Structure 1
C-alpha cells in the first residue's frame, strides 16, 4: 500500500478515535451565563459574539413540584432559568447553525413534605406535563438530573434513601410510560448525580456509600458528579489531622463515582464544574469555607492566570482525559457567583468567586485550545 494512503488511513483512524472518545461540552447554569459565554448582545441583533468553542448543550434548572423554570423564567437569587427561553432563542439557534442544542435539566425535589407527596402520586400530573414538554422538542436530547447531588448535606430531603430512590423511579417510570403510550421516540436520559464533595464529608464527619441511593440499573442512564475543588488538594485546615474523613480530595471522590459507573457499565457526566474559591476577573482566590480552609471570603491570595490554570483547570482536564472512556459529557458553570444573592456572602456562607472563562484573556486562550483540540 502506498505510503500516502497508509498515512491518510492513519489520520482517519486517529480522528475517529479522538471523536469517539471526545467529551461533549455543556455551558450553564443560568440564562445570563449562557449569553455571556457567547457575548450575545440583543441590541445589536446578536451580531457580536466570542469565538469560544461551541458547546453541545446548556444547563438549566426546574422544580418538579411546580415546574418553575420550565416554560417561564424563575429567579431565586441565582440568575434567571427558563428551559423554553433557551431552546427557542433566535440568537442561540443562529450560532448553532440551526442544529438544536441539547439540554441538561437539574430537577430539584429537595422538600421533604412535597417529596413524600410525589412518592404517593400527588405530582404525577406535573411529571406528565414535563414529559409532554420534552416531546415538543424531538430533536433535542434532554439530560435529566433527577434529585441532583443526592448525597449532599444541604439536600435534607434525600436523607431518607428509600424515599429518594422511589421518587427517582416514579419520575423515570411515568416519563417512560408517557412516551410509550404515545409511541414517541425517547429523547431523554436519566442522570443519577452525587455531589462528590470533600467538604460534605467533613461537614458530616463520615464517608457515605453512594450505592445506598442507587435507583437501579434500569433507571439510570448516566452516573453524574460535581467537581468544584482543586484536584488532589486536601483540606488545608486539616492537613495534620488523622481523621480519614478530612483526607479526601476532589479527585478521590470523583474517582469513586467513576469506579461505580464502570462497575455498572454506565457512562458518566460531570454535571457541575467550576473553580470554587477562584476569581478569574480579579486573579485571586479566597477561603471557601470554615469546613475546608478558614473563614469564608478571607485570606485573599493574588495569582497569575497560569497559577489558576495549573491549580484548578490542569488537574480537571487531566482527570477527564484519564477517564475519557467513561466521561462523555462535561457541564461547566460560566458565571460570576459573587454577583448573585444566593451564592454571594454572607447568604451563601461559602465563597464561590467568578468562574467566567471570558474574564481573563489567557485563561480564555487556554480553554479554547483545550476544548478545540479533542472535544466535540
Structure 2
C-alpha cells in the first residue's frame, strides 16, 4: 500500500474499526468546501490549534495527524456548536503537522483530503472564542458567556446568524438568549491574526409550546385571497382592518408567480407584489402538485415531484420565499384526499410532499411553516385521511377546506369530515387552519340568510376547534376562466353590490379581539424571528441490526400504502401488487418498500416478516442495495386479520449502512413487522 510522505490514513468506522487508506497531502493552512472549512494556527510557542467548522451540523469529527512523519494519532475533536477544535501540544518551531478529518453528516461518514501545517512559521492567531453553555436545545432561556484564551483579545459577536467583524458589538457581559438564535464570535488583538469564527446555535424549547408561526390559543389570523387584484381591493375597503395576510398559488410544474406575475386562469398570482407592498403581513401559499386545474388522470405530477424532476422549480419557490424574510405558510399539495385532484395514490403523494419539504430545508428556508391541507369532504377512493399524512416531522400545521354544499345531506357529510380533520389535528397536536374557505353560489351573498347558512357555521367551527387561521377567498369567481360556472362558484366578495348585511356582519366579526389583522405587533404575536436558524432536513429512519421494526417505518416505497384496518389494531403496510408502469421513461417497477439498516459487523442475516395474506401472493423478493439476495414465501392466511410469520434464507450483510428492500410482484399482502436477525 502506497502512502504519501509515509502517512497511513486510518478510516474510522462507526465501531472504530481501523482500515488503511492512502491520500495525497497538500501544503495549505486553510481550506473551505461546501461541507466545512478547516484551518491550523500556532497559538503559542509549543501549541498549534486545528479547527474544523462544519456547515452541515456534523454529529462527530475525528482528527488524524502525525508530527514530522511520526506515528499517526487519532482523536475525537472538541465540539462547540458546529466548530470542532483540537490542540497539538509539545511542538517546537518548524515542526510539520500532516492531518486529515473523518466527519459524519446524518448517516453518511466522509473523509477529507490531507492538509499540512508548519508550526511557528506564520504570525500567531488569536484563539477562537468559546461559549458556555455550548449550543443545543434548552427548556429555559440561557445566559451565554463568551471567553477567549488569548489574553487581551477583544471579542466581537452577533446574535442574528451573520458573520462577526471588528464593527460588530464587543462582548462585555453574558448574553441572554430567550428565543432560538445563533451566536457567532471572533477574537481580535493588535499584532495577531484574528481568530476563527466560533458559532453556537441555541434552541429554546421552553419559550413556547406553540407550533411554528402559531398565535396563542383563542387567536385567529385573517387571511384573504386569491389573486393580486382582489387582495388589493379588500385592503382598500375603508372600514375593515387590513388582513394579517394574503393567499396565493403556485405549482411544482413551473413555480409560476414566484418571481414574476402569472395568470393561468385563476387570477394574477404575484409573490413579489406581496413582498414589496404588504408590510407586517404573512403569506399563505398553496403549492399545486397536479397539472394545475386540469387535474387529468395519468398526468401524475406528484410522481414527477417524487422522482426529482421538479427540483429546480421547487428550489425557485424556496429561494423566493427565503428572500422575502417574512413569515410564509406553504400548503404542499393541498387537498390530496379529494377526487378532483386525481392524485395517483397516497404513497406517491407522501413521497412528493416530503421531497418538497426537504428541498426547502436544504435551501435553509427558516421563514416557512409547512401545512398539510385536506379537502374536508369524503376522501378519494375511500382512503382515510391518515393514509395521505406525510408524518409529524414534515407537518407544522394541519389545514382543511370549507366551501359548503348545495344539499343538506352533502353538507352534513362534509361537516363530519371537517370535524374529523379537526380531531386529527388535535390528536397530532398541530394547529388547525381553514386553508381555503368560500361560500360559493349555493349561498347567495345578497341573501341575509347566507350568514346563518354558511358564515356563522364557519365562525362557530373556529371557536369550537380553536382554529388559528381563516383563509377566506374573497373572489368574483365569474371573472376567472377556470371557475366561471356561475351555478357553482359565483361571486363571494363581501363588498359586492347588495351584500351590505354580510359586509357589516363580517366587519363586526373580524374586528373582534380574537382575530389578528395586520399590525406592527403581528410578527411578535406569531413568534416570528427572522434571525431564527433554519431547521435541518428530516433524517431518514435507520435501524441498527439485529432488530425488529414496524413495516410502516420505511424511508422510501412505491405502491405500499400505510393504511389501518378497522378490524385490526395494527397499522399495516398494504402492497397493492404489480402496478408496473413507465412515466417519462422512468420505470417504477413492482411494489416495494425500502429501509435503511446498519450492521456493526459483517455477518449472515435473515429476514422474518409478520404478515397476513388474504390474497393470492406466494413470494416476495429481498434486495440489499438493489441486488436480490433472497426470496421469502408469503403463505395464505385466509383473511387480512389472521397473521403468521415467514423467514427468508440467510444472506451476507457487510459492516456499514445498507438499503434493505422488500419487493412484491403480482397480488399484494399485509406486513406488520420486519425482523432482521442472525
- Report the Cα distance in structure 2 between the residues aligned to 1:188 and 1:370, rounded to whole angstroms: 28
- Residues 141-180 of structure 1 correspond to what in structure 2 (within 5 A)? 141-156=327-342, 158-179=343-364
Answer yes or no: is the 8 Å Cα contact 1:79–1:340 preserved in 2: yes
Over aligned residues, Cα RMSD in angstroms? 2.2
- SS of the residue corresponding to residue 211 of structure 1 reads helix
- Name 1:274's counterpart in structure 2: 438
CA distance in 2, matches of 1:315, 1:116: 37
Q: Tell me by how many angstroms 1:277 deviates.
A: 2.0
The 5 Å alignment of 1:198-237 reads: 207-229=382-404, 235-236=407-408
1:248 Cα offset (Å): 4.1
2:368 to 188, 191, 203: 188
Match of 2:507 among 364, 368, 372: 368
Within a 5 Å distance, the mapping from 1:65-84 to structure 2 comes to 65-84=253-272
What CA distance in whole angstroms lies between the structure 2 residues aligned with 1:368 and 1:352? 23
CA distance in structure 2 between the partners assigned to 1:86 and 1:69 by the alignment: 11
Equivalent pair of 1:224/1:271 in contact (CA under 8 Å)? yes
Among 320, 324, 336, the residue aligned to 2:476: 336
Question: Is the 1:280–1:357 contact (alpha carbons within 8 Å) kept by the matching residues of 2?
Answer: no
Q: 1:20 to 1:146 in 2, by over 3 A?
A: same
Q: Following TM superposition, by how much is the alpha carbon of 1:331 offset from its aligned partner in structure 2, in angstroms?
A: 0.2
Tell me the CA shift for residue 339 of structure 1. 2.4
**Residue 109 of structure 1: aligned partner:** 289
Instruction: Say whether the 8 Å CA contact 2:300–2:344 is kept in structure 1.
Output: no
Deviations 1:228-267 (A, max 9, x none): 116xx8x35xx5xxxxxx6843321110101111111111
User: Which structure's CA Rg is the greater one?
Assistant: 2
Q: Larger % of helix: which?
A: 1
Tell me if 1:56 matches 2:244.
yes
Aligned to 2:460: 318
- Distance, in Å, in 2 between the alignment partners of 1:152 and 1:68 is 23
Distance 1:342-1:51 versus aligned 2 partners, 3 A rule: same
Counterpart in the other structure of 2:450: 308
Helix, strand or coil: the match of 1:145?
A: strand
1:31 to 2:228 alignment: yes
Map Cα deviations across residues 135-159 of structure 1 (whole Å, 9 max, x no partner): 2111x11111100110111111x23
Q: Which residue of 1 aligns with 2:491?
A: 354
Q: 2:377 aligns with which of 189, 193, 197?
A: 197
The separation in 2 between residues aligned to 1:56 and 1:38, in whole angstroms, is 10
Cα separation, 1, equivalents of 2:441 and 2:423: 27
Contact 1:222–1:268 at 8 Å: present in 2 too? Answer: yes
| Contact 1:251 1:319 (C-alpha < 8 Å) held by counterparts | no
Extract unaligned runs of 5+ from structure 2: 1-214, 292-298, 517-678
Q: Is the 8 A contact 2:258 2:316 kept in 1?
A: no
- State how far apart, in whole Å, the 2-side matches of 1:69 and 1:75 are: 8
Paired residues, number:
292
Seen in structure 2, the aligned counterparts of structure 1 residues 114 and 250 have a Cα distance that, compared at 3 Å, is closer
User: What runs of 5+ residues in structure 1 fail to find an aligned partner?
Assistant: 1-17, 40-48, 240-245, 284-302
Tell which deviates more after alignment, 266-275 or 221-230.
221-230
**Preserved CA contact (<8 Å) 2:235 2:243:** no
Write out per-residue CA displacement over residues 136-183 of structure 1, whole angstroms, 9 at most, x where no aligned residue.
Answer: 111x11111100110111111x2321110001001111111220xxxx
Q: Secondary structure at the match of 1:314?
A: helix
- Does structure 2 conserve the Cα–Cα contact (< 8 Å) formed by 1:71 and 1:85? no
* CA distance in structure 1 between the aligned counterparts of 2:438 and 2:238, rounded to whole angstroms: 20
CA distance in 1: counterparts of 2:479 and 2:444, whole angstroms: 13
TM value normalised by structure 2 = 0.41
Distance in 2 separating the partners of 1:131 and 1:79? 22
User: In structure 2, do the counterparts of structure 1 residues 114 and 353 end up closer, same or farther at CA, with 3 Å as the change threshold?
Assistant: closer
Counterpart Cα distance in 2 of 1:167 and 1:19:
31
Distance 1:124 1:339, change over 3 A: closer
Moved more, 359-368 or 252-261: 359-368
Report which of the two has the higher share of strand: 2
8 Å contact kept, 2:404–2:411:
no
Partner Cα distance (1:344, 1:126) in 2: 29
**What's the CA shift for 1:316?**
1.0
- Which range moved further: 18-27 or 163-172? 18-27
- 1:133 matched to which residue of 2? 320
Cα distance between partner residues in 2 of 1:67 and 1:163: 20
Tell me if structure 2 keeps the 8 A contact 1:19–1:375. Answer: no
User: Equivalent residue for 1:119?
Assistant: 306
1:345 and 1:361 map into 2 onto residues whose CA distance is 24
CA–CA separation in structure 2 for the residues paired with 1:73 and 1:148: 21
